């Protein structure tokens, strides 16, 4: 399977976050770190965003089941 890059605006949209909130989570190590693609461009790995979404979904479902 080939990996794909997601630019920050699209990464935030995919995760359902604003760009500023996404970067706040990045700085707190609660969201995947971006990858430097070139001197001026950074992007996120699509698989890491998908894994983050799955982790958040599973965590939320476990909390609702425990209630």
Domain ranges of the chain: 5-66
pTM for the complete prediction?
0.86
CATH class of 5-66: mainly alpha
Mean pLDDT across 17-37: 98
The residue length of the chain stands at 67
**Could you tell me what percentage of the chain is helix, strand and coil, using 3-state DSSP and rounding each to the nearest 5?**
55, 10, 30
pLDDT in tens, 35-51: 999 999 999 999 999 99
């Amino acid at each position: 399977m080939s990996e794909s890059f997601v630019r920050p605006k699209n990464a935030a949209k995919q995760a359902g976050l604003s760009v500023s909130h996404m970067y706040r989570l990045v700085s707190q190590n609660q969201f995947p770190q971006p990858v430097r693609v070139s001197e001026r461009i950074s992007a996120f790995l699509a698989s890491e965003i998908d894994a983050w979404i799955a982790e958040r979904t599973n965590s939320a479902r476990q909390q609702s089941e425990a209630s």
